[in-house]
Structure 1
Amino acid sequence: MSSASIGVQADRPAELDLVRRLKDPALLLLPALAFLAFIYLLPLIDLIRISVSGPSWSSYFARVFAIPLYWDSLVRTLQISVTVAGLCLLFGYPTALLIHRSRGIAQVLIATAIVLPYFIAILIRTYAWMVLLGRNGPVNKLLVSIGILSEPVQLLFNRGTVLLGMTAVLLPLMVLTIYSSVARLDQSLTRAALASGAGPLAAFWRVLLPLTLPGMGAGFLLVFVAAIGFFITPTLLGGPGDQMFAMHITQQADSVTSEGFLQALGVVLLTITLAVVAVAGRFLGFEFIWGGRKLTEAVPRATDRHTGDAGRRSLGASVADFIGWPLLRLFGRLPGSCGTWTVRVMGGLVIAILILPIIVVMIISFSSASYLTFPPPGFSLRWYEQFFSDSNWMRAFWTSLVVAAMSAAIAISLGASAALGIVRSDIRGKSAIMLLLVSPIIVPPVVLGLSLYSLFLRFDLVGSVFGLAAAHAIGGLPLVVVILSASLQGVDTRLEQAAAVHGASSLTVFRLVTLPAIMPGLAAATFFAFLHSFDELVLTLFLSSAELKTLPLMLWGDVNYRLNPVLAVVSTLEVLLVVAGLALARPVLATSRKATSQ
């Protein structure tokens, strides 16, 4: 054998190894990770760099905490966030139980009443409460008609309306998080407790509550983290004494201020958010962020997983014992039907809080009056005609469509690739990679907008359609990854293996087997990425220009300066868009529930 042939044979294993590596599904993660590294992580790192660039690294932070205005606002933000999370837990838990215990068409209707508001823009839901609680709104008219008030009063712009509005906005998140925990339960455990002589309340406290505590904790923390960065609702519904910390960042961004001081405000809010998430991840696992199970790693650690689950169950039982037994002694003699009626009444109240404002706004969109009033004196299409004939509204509408379409295209192309890499590869650290991919949903939008503004200025992307679409795609990407990961987990891999055994290439297997199987999920992910961009306001406030105005930006300006039924028209069109999308997403939502329950 010649030395040349020996050299060729020696090179073949290396070539085959290179080919195998190039076919590794883990490589599909690279585009999404590169995108996030440049347009997400880099701006946040730069934000931190600027915040510590003073005479000393702590100079700007010392100013933040030395000014009573910001310190008081920070304390107020934490107080409001904890209160809102507590209210959502109080009303969300019975509602999740109501969905779980309902059957047939009743369950579908209740679930729809919860899910529908979840996907409607926060700005529109907040506007609905402004209509509902306004001087000419139905609440004032009802109170006057039954004699509680002699004339309409100002119900807006106070702490109560801020708590009500934020709770109504975040309640669906709590309900869906707890429901995903309740749906996994083995119902035979509760039946066994009842058969053993335990009363309904004892079975709840000793069986149901400990098993659902992780879901309750995850829901509480998700709502708390979301509330910390709230900006839209407290701005529109609160008064001067209800300003939250995120509002100061937007106000400072509009004024001439020290660059480092503004970034320090953002870093303070970001640090608190990440600290809460880190502590929560230590006890609950970071999977609570994307609502799934721990992803399969290259080297399974079953012992650690079972040990952690057992520890959480033991902690849940201990908490239930400590809190529950005194209550059992107090309420143990009540009939079991009291619990059932409590769930129905509180669940019904939640549904009313979520749905009634939307219905009122939709009715007002057909009002013949020249101002906001309910009930309308007559019905007319004048406001629809005004919306579609106004060049400013239509220009903003088409701009939103273009930006949302571009953003969805970016999010789908990157997110689909990343989902394939997560589900099909054996790479180590899947949970850490998934945490990075979905982490944009936990970063306060005002912080992300502030960090992107500095980066986009350098590349002349502020006020550009592509820049705005790319920024919106940061939030759309996690939605795509979560939805398509659930869809891919529901695909029978034996079909893919059979196609590969018969000589089909990887691309052919994906095109003929995988793609048709995940098509409902792909359509749903595309819609939700599109809707996320179409509704996005906070990033748009930082990155738009006088020439580039989207529909939410136009709506924001009108809500702040004048209220008229044209805004109700925009809200109604948004609701119809969401209804159409949810109808499209029904198959993938069912698949997602099955995947997370396994």
Structure 2
Amino acid sequence: MSRVRNGLIGRGLIPVWLLLPIVALFAVGYVLPLSQLVLKSLQSEGSWSLKSYLEIAHSPTFFWIVLRTLTLAATVTLICLLVAYPLAYMIARCSPRVASLMLLVVTLPYLTSVLIRTYGWIVLLGPSGPINKTLLQLGVISEPLQMVFNAAGVYIGMVQVQLPLMVFPLYAALARVNPSLTKAAQSLGSPPTDAFLRVTLPASMPGLVSGCTLVFLSCLGFYITPELLGGPDDYLIAQGISLRVLILGNFSDAAAQSSLLLLAVIMIFLVFRRRIAEELDDSSRFDDISPLGATASGLAARRPIVERASLLSHHVGLRIHEALTSVRRPLLRFFAGLALLLLTLPFAVVIPLAFSDAPYLTFPPPGYSLRWFSRLFSNTQWLDALSFSLRWAGLSALLSVAVGVPAAFALVRHRFPGRLAIYLLLISPLIVPHVVMAVSLFFALAGTSLIGSPLAFALGYAIIGAPYAVVVTIAGLKRFDRTLERAATSLGANQITILRTVTLPLLLPTLASAAIFAFIVGFDDVVFGLFLSGPNATPLPMRMWDNIRLEISPQIAVVAVMFLAVLAILGLLRLFVGAAIEGRRSQAKT
């Protein structure tokens, strides 16, 4: 009896040991710095005080900055929804091969540096850029439009950056909708557009809500694109925090503003926690939408306004639906193509610029050469920065995978109290603005030798990379077929042997994806570099940042081409590993 009890206790401690590494990492590099940030906002001149919050409350300037930030976040979210929905719907209804290709087109910008994409928009939207030149040649305008270094450039750049965050959850929700439901509605006399409003749209609401939440929260603390594409009148909260820390040295006000931004993000995050944590739920009602489930939850409970209006004026509504039905496919293709064009347009500019032979930035290039490649590889500062980013982003990615994979196993294969809370904590760095995390880490490390050291970057990169490792591994484990594990168990293999010889080898593509995501998020980061850089710790994104702000030379395009080449190699390697694993899996089942 005691042996059984001890076995149950030991089994109950498994998730504790699996979660211990990542919880310890988050406690030191995430929870503790954020707690110190909040405490610092409550201090003034060495004593406890609400002075910073009172100044914020009585500051009309801060009010307008908050209003501008909220307006930007809401507008970008709405535009992303309108642009992304047709694309996600088309991907969900395409053949698997075409859908895979379109998803690759969506994923590539998501994995590519925000700096590179923003650089592309500076070239595209400039007074002498290709968009203005095309409009002038067509006679649409008589003089170049000012579309960069103002609000217009910020909105365009932000929509392009945030669009993948809207496409992915929408596609996931639409792909789960049973197509037979809309066919059944059409067989009963409902026009296709009416069937869409009655069936597909309500069933896709989980993805719609998740996408809008992710985009809105990401926009609240976004720093890079507004800073590079905006003007002096487009000042946002994240820029205000950075200015107070890096320029003014007003740490108390910066801590107070960071704490308010953190509080707002956490509140929204908690409101939608069930939707955000849906991947962890084994009994999600959207995994397999049946006609009964769709009717009960989608149609009866949440009938759209358009449906109610059509009930009041059936004949008018029917004619509108019939008119839309005749043009729905061309419109769908047009808007989906527009979304893909928006996602890929910066690359159409950046790649040719890398091979320009002009001594300055001009598009289209007057000729082509490798002069900018040669200049980059002869510049020791750029090479040192590249070496630094490769080393420490790579090591941090390995650390992220090392702590994230065990945590994913604990969350997926074990049930314990506080499971949802721990999951939300581990993925919260995906939501909390990087500027808030960077400022908190800066304050926590201030006065120590870690500021300006590679270890500070390793810690920061691991904090923002580990959530990707957790999320990607959880998705892989949810799709994992445990038949081979049960077969190994029936043959007498213990859990360690099964993990080493069956589970981890079959999860290699998932682990590779987790490592790639964790590496890219660290390699691409600028915000931590702004607060943690030093003479011996300057990552490549900081060199790119300074170049864009001070020079805007084609050297950034060279880095972009190299980045895309590395992504292509990593993607091909992952496909090769995945194909090899799938072949082994098929042989084992046979």
Common topology (TM > 0.5) = yes
Change (3 A) 1:212 1:225: same
2:586 corresponds to? none
2:556 corresponds to? 567
Change (3 A) 1:20 1:346: closer
Q: Name stretches of at least 5 consecutive residues in structure 2 with no aligned partner.
A: 285-291, 582-590
Question: Aligned partners of 1:103 and 1:198: how far apart in 2?
Answer: 25
Superposed counterparts of 1:413-428, under 5 Å: 413-428=402-417
Q: Tell me, what secondary structure is at the counterpart of 1:285? A: helix
- Quote how far apart the aligned CAs of 1:450 are: 0.5
Larger CA deviation: 424-433 vs 213-222: 424-433
Superposed counterparts of 1:133-152, under 5 Å: 133-152=125-144
Among 281, 287, 290, the alignment partner of 1:294 is 281
- After superposition, what is the alpha-carbon deviation per residue over 1:81-139, rounded to whole angstroms, capped at 9, x for unaligned? 00000000011101111112222543333222211111111111111100111233211
1:50, 1:260 within 8 Å by CA — same for their partners in 2?
yes
Question: Aligned partners of 1:574 and 1:354: how far apart in 2?
Answer: 17
The amino acid across from 2:554 in the alignment is: P
2:254 corresponds to? 262
Question: Aligned partners of 1:309 and 1:579: how far apart in 2?
Answer: 44
Among 242, 245, 269, the alignment partner of 1:250 is 242
Change (3 A) 1:471 1:143: same
Counterpart check, 1:455 vs 2:444: yes
- Quote how far apart the aligned CAs of 1:224 are: 0.5
1:595 corresponds to? none
Larger CA deviation: 70-79 vs 539-548: 539-548
Q: Tell me, what secondary structure is at the counterpart of 1:336? A: helix
Question: Aligned partners of 1:191 and 1:320: how far apart in 2?
Answer: 20
2:198 corresponds to? 206
Change (3 A) 1:199 1:64: same
1:300 corresponds to? none
Change (3 A) 1:295 1:475: farther
1:364 corresponds to? 353
Counterpart check, 1:500 vs 2:479: no
Percent identity over paired residues = 36
2:218 corresponds to? 226
Change (3 A) 1:456 1:415: same
Among 501, 507, 512, the alignment partner of 1:512 is 501
Change (3 A) 1:576 1:324: farther
- Quote how far apart the aligned CAs of 1:370 are: 1.2
Question: Aligned partners of 1:432 and 1:321: how far apart in 2?
Answer: 38
2:364 corresponds to? 375
- After superposition, what is the alpha-carbon deviation per residue over 1:136-162, rounded to whole angstroms, capped at 9, x for unaligned? 321122122223344545331121111
Superposed counterparts of 1:155-554, under 5 Å: 155-281=147-273, 285-287=275-277, 292-295=279-282, 314-319=300-305, 321-322=307-308, 328=317, 331-554=320-543
Question: Aligned partners of 2:346 and 2:81: how far apart in 1?
Answer: 21
Q: How many residues are aligned here?
A: 568
1:524, 1:581 within 8 Å by CA — same for their partners in 2?
no
1:524, 1:584 within 8 Å by CA — same for their partners in 2?
no
- Quote how far apart the aligned CAs of 1:233 are: 0.6
The amino acid across from 1:130 in the alignment is: I
Q: Tell me, what secondary structure is at the counterpart of 1:378? A: coil
Change (3 A) 1:366 1:500: same
Counterpart check, 1:51 vs 2:36: no
- Quote how far apart the aligned CAs of 1:389 are: 1.1
2:55 corresponds to? 63
Change (3 A) 1:97 1:50: same
Q: Name stretches of at least 5 consecutive residues in structure 1 with no aligned partner.
A: 1-9, 298-305, 592-598
Larger CA deviation: 444-453 vs 489-498: 489-498
TM-score (norm 2): 0.90
Larger CA deviation: 549-558 vs 250-259: 250-259
Among 19, 23, 27, the alignment partner of 2:17 is 27
- After superposition, what is the alpha-carbon deviation per residue over 1:467-489, rounded to whole angstroms, capped at 9, x for unaligned? 20111111111111111112222
2:584 corresponds to? none
2:588 corresponds to? none
Change (3 A) 1:250 1:520: same
RMSD value, Cα:
2.6
Change (3 A) 1:250 1:309: farther
TM-score (norm 1): 0.89
Question: Aligned partners of 1:212 and 1:113: how far apart in 2?
Answer: 22
The amino acid across from 1:183 in the alignment is: A
Question: Aligned partners of 1:117 and 1:468: how far apart in 2?
Answer: 24
Question: Aligned partners of 1:452 and 1:313: how far apart in 2?
Answer: 48
- Quote how far apart the aligned CAs of 1:330 are: 7.1
2:469, 2:518 within 8 Å by CA — same for their partners in 1?
yes
1:487, 1:588 within 8 Å by CA — same for their partners in 2?
no
Change (3 A) 1:115 1:16: closer
- After superposition, what is the alpha-carbon deviation per residue over 1:216-239, rounded to whole angstroms, capped at 9, x for unaligned? 111111101000111111111111
1:158, 1:237 within 8 Å by CA — same for their partners in 2?
yes
Change (3 A) 1:558 1:83: same
Question: Aligned partners of 1:308 and 1:442: how far apart in 2?
Answer: 30
Counterpart check, 1:95 vs 2:87: yes
The amino acid across from 1:294 in the alignment is: D
- Quote how far apart the aligned CAs of 1:329 are: 5.7
Among 88, 110, 119, the alignment partner of 1:127 is 119
Question: Aligned partners of 1:354 and 1:20: how far apart in 2?
Answer: 48
Question: Aligned partners of 2:364 and 2:275: how far apart in 1?
Answer: 49
1:3 corresponds to? none
Change (3 A) 1:589 1:75: farther
Q: Tell me, what secondary structure is at the counterpart of 1:375? A: coil
Question: Aligned partners of 1:496 and 1:448: how far apart in 2?
Answer: 40
1:576 corresponds to? 565
